[in-house]
Structure 1
């Protein structure tokens, strides 16, 4: 896929200046910030993007200064030692061939945001290289954030949620509530990221938080109400503009040929010896880690730290010998080799990334490193050579795939299992997956796709999809790739998979606990997830149409109300008509402006004037209904597979470092449930006639894991007694009898229980509860005096993390913590919080995975009567015949409860209904 990298130059310059030591060259010129930026630029070039730009803030005021004259007013002047590095940085950027952009009147963020959305709309894979959290609002399919200095990556709603506690579309509201001290944007006093995220989790949007402000208690509620007048302006200030008028789009941002003479002079002057050596010796070939049609290369995330060492065996980094199988004699010889082999690496080539729709184009196999074959089965370009019949080949190979005694291995093999199943071939004995071997060895490590693994562990540069199929608008399907080129590409897949396995297998064997996670949890889960995905879930299109109709009716009512208020008809979706009506005719103040100076009619602008006229509020209501309809009730029916009549999500094992599963296409784990309209969406997930949906959900699993790990007698007793744990904690902390605990005391205890588990400080607890820091510290002190085992566990865990660099789940999964003993104080504090939380969250992930494997094994004899169809957070959802539901309600929760032997009971709550909302 064509790639665009947008570099936030201002962010990196300041970040490098403050993060790196005060380096200087032989002449005493400062070079620390310059060194950091140059390394980042070199890393970007190694990715070989088709388009790239280095974006800086222009001098002079921006539209935000016009909106808020105090914007960034408290920023100190740029230090002289940093200012001295700006000009050489620009010279190096230009010498490297990067287009350099500075646009008057807006910030670099706005230029990047505009280009990012333009690129994604054109099907370009956009990476924003930045350390600025504000860009998280732009994350969506096709747009990822990468912090080259820290290695962090945000490329999905799940990763944004994991980092900030909110979805990408809520980031602006989060920032508006928190404010930004660096930019002199005051937020709600004492409202930090956790409080803001909590409010948004409960109410959904800033508008809803504002609407419920009167119901938020304590000092923090007072602070919120005091800040209400400025929150709409905050939102405007922190919103990245995506409609900046530019001279050209992404297609104009091609890299120029680098000026090696200028670079040599600059590198030598500033003492960048490694860069100079690379320049004189030639830059190494880079890899682009992508999964393309025809190549299931897996998924990955960017590194934190880990125990990986590249392999030095030269035989693993040389090109292989590959054969194309197009005759019966060659097929017979291949089958004979496969029958003799104990271990077979294989890969499928297809014409789509969607395994539920992909057509099989070819298969590749390897049983010996350095040698592999490709079986073209459905190439269809003019003049294509004769190929073996696909049906005949699959019938010939089916017994080998079905032989459980022959170990099969792949890279992200769940995709291949789907493809083969849809073509009538069941795979048994799928024993190893190089993506999962890498993931278990270090879940926070670099990308786990084949290209990255081959480079890291083998020192091998794989053939890229673009090299055989082209790129951009001219890219062809794999079925149209010339068979000779396809062989070079596809046979390499099987060969490299086998080579990687030969390297990764001994690494796992050397770590028995990790090997146990891999063998007992991750690998058995692969076919289970494949079955869950293939089962899919039925959608009630009529219900969604009714919901859409209801939303449309309410939208129409809002339109009619708006017409009455305006005294004439107008198009609520037309910013131009709204501008004329609101500001020219009704003379409402144009509080916010667009970058071009026109009165803004976006959500923030309407909120800012909603107290002056009823019409802006009606327009906002109309927009909210329209968004819910377009995002859910109209879109979900479009995702129904026409062959199965169901929605089939995709689950990802190698995503979150803690081991949590995520899902995409569609993401069923983020369906809104906080509002009545949102909960109605689940009502559209239904059981077919004669069947029911059964939902089984672990109760307070992470707190139970805390009780187990801490071995605290008080917590253990409370769970063993089946007590309301938050009420029991309140009784201990506040010195009450259980029956005398008030609702507010229980809420405070709940905040303590979950807050301490996530490493919350007294300051954070004070902000969340709206109390003084001293009072919060007293609560925590009392809590630890009542539950001393928790305090001891937390200290033991921190110490283990410092000593070993990682923490472990109950089952031995590791999370490496790069900054536990280094970095800034904030980074170390964050690593300590992760050290406390990861064993709970990771163990919960391990438990539900083990439960899925166990329940799936039991369901093997009952697949006609019951199916596992969804995994969402700590919940499993089943579809079952009505008369089989009692059996399912006995067996599934029992197996879920037995998925781990903790010192406290694992309680599973169950429900039954005709739809997911009823069952949940």
Structure 2
């Protein structure tokens, strides 16, 4: 299918200007935004779309200015250093041969929207290249949004829903409710993304929200009703026109022939050296066009020269952006020479190539090494491509490399190296001295960015666009395994991985060293945890597959009962798994109200829709019960037995350190941290996590760790005393708030105190507390006032933290982990309030994450002498789970809680609860 790329020119110009450092050429002319735009353009051209256009706003007013005089009136003038880059940008765009579109009276968004819809209707796959959230309203079949700066992609309703919480066809109404500070469109005060999404989930459209405005209570309801007159205009202003009269159709947007001489002059002037080399043919290619970012290297016997990074900018270290020389090691003499280099080097980067993404099953295909920037090699050991020369035997290669790999005094580094540690361990090499990981360096430096993969980091820190896996292995159904990749391509790809990893380390480590607190988080928490997580993953956890099968059978029986009940209620048989049949039954036959609609406008039968009508008929509740049982069966009881590793007989999850910005670990394949525990059926699943005969499962869980961290950070005397006394903290809080002795506190008062204790950490308002407790808002506000009067140190801490966030743009954990708050200075009140709430909660969540990580390192070190008697098998939130010999239980139950409690020195004691059982549920 043909492809059309529509580039939102001004959006990328502004974003590149603010995202990149203030780069300049030799003459001192600013080039940062231009650099970002040019590389983005070259990236699109590399994909060779059938049609392409660069769309810009035309000078003068648009129809929106006529509708609303204040439209965009608050926008600051364009900075001079950005304005000076527009002319050269347009010159480069024109010289590259891209059609440039500007239409008077409308915005670039409207031109893009019109072309996107026309293209999709003509059967063309349309890619809108932008970072503008407004454009999400265009997403539909054959229309996708791609953000080349963040790597994000919105190509379906599901993707839009995951990002914004609403469907693509609800984006306009979503924006109308929130307003847009950038465009000076006033939204409803205090209506942020969550509130807008919630209203649209309940009432489907802006018209639905307007019609039901009287049903929405509290201050936010009052604000909505006051804003009703302007909401229709908001919707008009935020709606992208898709019927602009254009002189060109999508089929006419062909790429023209480049003006090579003009490009040469422009690239030379602005210091875009790699682009200039491509233009002059110095980075010759046997496959791709001269407009690509990275081309195959030039063969040098058994070695290759990789092209250099684009644009030798003044802020980039030339040594980290220079061409690399890559060897393909096929003879023992070459390997010996590389091993001599490893022995002589203080540190080296390594990477593995395998035949699987599952590190617990992957077979080694090759190993790459790098000792200095630009000096790397690839050692193939299991390639099967046609014409591949004889390779060195795997065991001979591993035996030769083993002394360096297992030497703890030899510093080694990688990118997401935990995977490589697994692969090498499974092949008989226990790597020691793994001291640096570029993924974790990036994560500690800036946990808030979306991507910490090598390709993104290379572009961000080196201005270097790497060879992608698809470049050497193909895409989709035609993609081949790495063992089938030709050695020339494999060497270029794999050796570059090790080379760029070392370059990134040399670029990022000085930044960490300039921030001692961050360096400590990296050196003392994150890096020591890597081998610990590798061991926990390798240990795995034993699953009772028979128990899961019994649970599946029970769930199936109950699903059948639900089906029978549904049939009786309906008066006829129907397919409960068919939304179409269910919709016809509920809305056509039973005449139940269709309160939630699909994107096409049809009545929805999703969970939200059924919940909305469950009080009007028993059938929706039966359907919800049926679906809940079906989800447990398909997600857990049926699936977990299939994930048992045939080599170990256990389930092995993967833990992710660089996921949540707070530092919390997450897990996947399977996600063992999200096994439901609130329902009896969900808790039953934990009974299938078992210990082998002669062993027990032990769970060690921090008690109320975030509240204890709140006491430490606030230093409030009353709160500290409550924890030091060992009292029930919620009962103690209730006694303080309501002025009663502990023994006189009622269960309702304790419940209210618990809601306040936890609610304050998550920014709960009086409205939220009132809703949770089922009391009047004024009463809830009184509770909060009483709380702060008894714990004034907590209020002071919250005020100090908000101020620190406003002053510095970030907050920190007890151990110095930095948590950036991008919206703390936002003009959007809802965004700013959300950032302030995060400022309060993030130090507590982040400190809790740091403590459990420190505890894992301490416990793992102690377990080193007892690995035949006890294994750490799971980490779940604030809990560590062990598999322990019966005879070793007393020792572990004495030592592990003490080690965990000693993982941090707080103003209040850390308390660890323990449990023992034959399975996880019994121990929890």
Please give the TM-score of this superposition, normalised by the length of structure 2: 0.72
Paired position in structure 1 for 2:803? 799
Q: Tell me the residue number matched to 1:623.
A: 627
Structure 2 CA distance for partners of 1:115 and 1:641, relative to 1, 3 Å = farther
Which of 89, 98, 112 is matched with 1:93 structurally?
A: 112
Aligned partners of 1:325, 1:255: CA distance in 2, in Å?
50
Q: Bigger CA drift: 610-619 or 829-838?
A: 610-619
Q: Is the alpha carbon distance of 1:524 and 1:175 closer, same or farther for their aligned partners in structure 2, counting shifts above 3 Å?
A: farther
What CA distance in whole angstroms lies between the structure 1 residues aligned with 2:654 and 2:251?
34
For residue 436 of structure 1, give the secondary structure of its aligned residue in structure 2.
helix
Contact 1:98 1:256 survives alignment (8 Å): no
SS of the equivalent of 2:824 reads coil
Given that 2:144 and 2:154 are in contact with CA atoms closer than 8 Å, whether structure 1 keeps it comes out as no
Deviation of the 1:894 alpha carbon: 0.7
Distance 1:754 1:53 in 2: 54
Maintained 8 Å contact 1:317/1:460: yes
Distance (whole Å) between structure 2 residues aligned to residue 100 and residue 177 of structure 1 = 33
Give 3-state SS (helix, strand or coil) of 1:663's partner. strand
Q: Of 361, 364, 374, which residue of structure 2 is paired with 1:370? A: 374
Shift of 1:317: 0.8
Structure 1 partner of 2:209: 184
Of the three residues 706, 711, 722, the one matched with 1:707 is 711
- Give per-residue Cα distances to partners, 1:235-288, cap 9 Å, x unaligned: xxxxxxxxxxxxxxxxxx999645799xxxxxxxxxxxx9xxx99999997799
User: In the superposition, relative to structure 1, how do residues 837 and 534 fare at CA in structure 2: closer, same or farther (>3 Å)?
Assistant: same
Cα deviation, residue 433, structure 1? 0.8
Q: Is 1:431 the equivalent of 2:458?
A: no
Contact 2:204–2:596 (Cα < 8 Å) also in 1: no
Change (3 A) 1:77 1:913: farther
Alignment partner, residue 677 of structure 2: 673
Q: Tell which has more relative contact order, 1 or 2 (C-alpha 8 A, sep 6+).
A: 1
Matched with 1:127 is 154
Contact 1:697 1:909 in 2 (8 A): yes
> Within 1, Cα distance between the matches of 2:613 and 2:114?
49
Q: 1:703, CA displacement in angstroms?
A: 0.9
Could you tell me which residue of structure 2 aligns to residue 685 of structure 1? 689
Following superposition, the deviation at residue 639 of structure 1 comes to 1.5
Distance, in Å, in 2 between the alignment partners of 1:511 and 1:411 is 21
Which deviations, in whole Å up to 9, do the C-alpha atoms of 1:91-116 show, x marking residues without a partner?
7538999975589xxx9979736669
State whether residues 97 and 259 of structure 1, in contact with CA within 8 Å, keep that contact through their aligned partners in structure 2. Answer: no
1:324, 1:375 within 8 Å by CA — same for their partners in 2? yes
Partner of 1:474: 478
Query: Offset of 1:842 from its aligned partner?
Result: 0.9
Change (3 A) 1:538 1:731: same
Residue equivalent to 2:903: 899
Task: Return the alpha-carbon distance in structure 1 between the equivalents of residues 722 and 343 of structure 2.
Answer: 58
C-alpha spacing 1:789/1:312, structure 2 compared with 1 (3 Å)? same
Aligned pair partner of 2:857 in 853, 859, 876: 853
CA deviation after TM superposition for structure 1 residue 338, in Å: 1.2
Deviation string for 1:603-627 (max 9, x for gaps)? 5665666666655544443333222
Q: Which residue of 2 aligns with 1:910?
A: 914
CA distance in structure 2 between the partners assigned to 1:753 and 1:5 by the alignment: 54
What residue ranges of structure 1 are gaps of 5+ in the alignment?
20-35, 55-74, 140-146, 151-162, 196-252, 262-273, 289-308
The one-character-per-residue Cα deviations of 1:326-352 (angstroms, maximum 9, x if unpaired) are 001111111121122221111111122
Q: Mapping of 1:796-835 within 5 angstroms?
A: 796-835=800-839
CA contact (8 A) 1:437 1:504 kept: yes
1:357 shift after superposition: 1.6
Number of aligned pairs?
751
Per-residue deviation, 1:782 = 2.5
Equivalent-residue separation in structure 1 for 2:114 and 2:139 (angstroms): 21
Q: Residues 831 and 126 from structure 1, CA distance in 2 versus in 1: closer, same or farther, beyond 3 angstroms? A: closer
The 5 Å alignment of 1:629-648 reads 629-648=633-652
Provide the rounded CA distance (Å) in 2 between the counterparts of 1:52 and 1:183. 41
Q: Work out the CA distance in 2 between the residues paired with 1:678 and 1:40.
A: 50
Q: What's the CA shift for 1:599? A: 6.7
Range 774-783 or range 493-502, more displaced: 774-783
Q: 1:732-759, CA deviations, whole angstroms, 9 ceiling, x for partnerless residues? A: 1111221111222222222222222233
What CA distance in whole angstroms lies between the structure 1 residues aligned with 2:593 and 2:663? 51
Counterpart pick for 1:459 among 459, 463, 466 = 463
- The reply on whether 1:842 has 2:869 as its aligned counterpart is no
Distance of aligned partners of 1:543 and 1:6 in 2 relative to their CA distance in 1, 3 Å threshold: farther
Tell me the residue number matched to 1:869.
873
Q: Tell whether 2:546 aligns with 1:534.
A: no
Aligned position for 1:656:
660
2:317 aligned partner? 313
Alignment of 1:107-186 (within 5 A): 112=139, 126-127=153-154, 135-136=163-164, 176=201, 184=209, 186=212
Matched, 1:352 2:349: no
Report the more deviating stretch, 811-820 or 641-650: 811-820
Alpha-carbon distance change, 787 to 314 in structure 1, aligned in 2, over 3 angstroms = same
Query: What's the CA shift string for 1:139-189, capped at 9, x where partnerless?
Result: 9xxxxxxx9xx9xxxxxxxxxxxx9999xxxx9889646988686264874
Flag the 1:329–1:718 CA change in 2: closer, same or farther, 3 A.
Answer: same
CA distance in 1, matches of 2:496, 2:632: 46
Q: Verify the 8 A CA contact 1:346 1:408 in the aligned structure 2.
A: yes
- Partners of 2:751 and 2:294 lie apart in 1 by 51
Aligned equivalents of 1:573, 1:333: Cα separation in 2: 64
Distance in 1 separating the partners of 2:7 and 2:727: 52
| Contact 1:8–1:108 under 8 Å retained in 2 | no
Which sections of structure 2, spanning at least 5 residues, go unmatched? 19-32, 53-63, 73-102, 123-133, 168-174, 180-191, 222-249, 259-269, 280-289, 296-312
> What secondary structure sits across from 1:797 in the alignment?
helix
CA RMSD for the aligned pairs? 4.6
> Is the 2:109–2:135 contact (alpha carbons within 8 Å) kept by the matching residues of 1?
no
**Could you tell me which of 327, 331, 337 is aligned with 1:333?**
337
C-alpha contact (below 8 Å) 2:532/2:857 kept by paired residues? yes
* Change over 3 Å in CA distance of 1:876–1:583 after alignment to 2: closer
| Mean Cα deviation higher: 849-858 or 40-49 | 40-49
Structure 1 or 2, whichever has the larger Rg, is 2
TM-score by length of 1: 0.72
Distance 1:313 1:3 in 2: 40
- Give the aligned partner of residue 447 of structure 1: 451
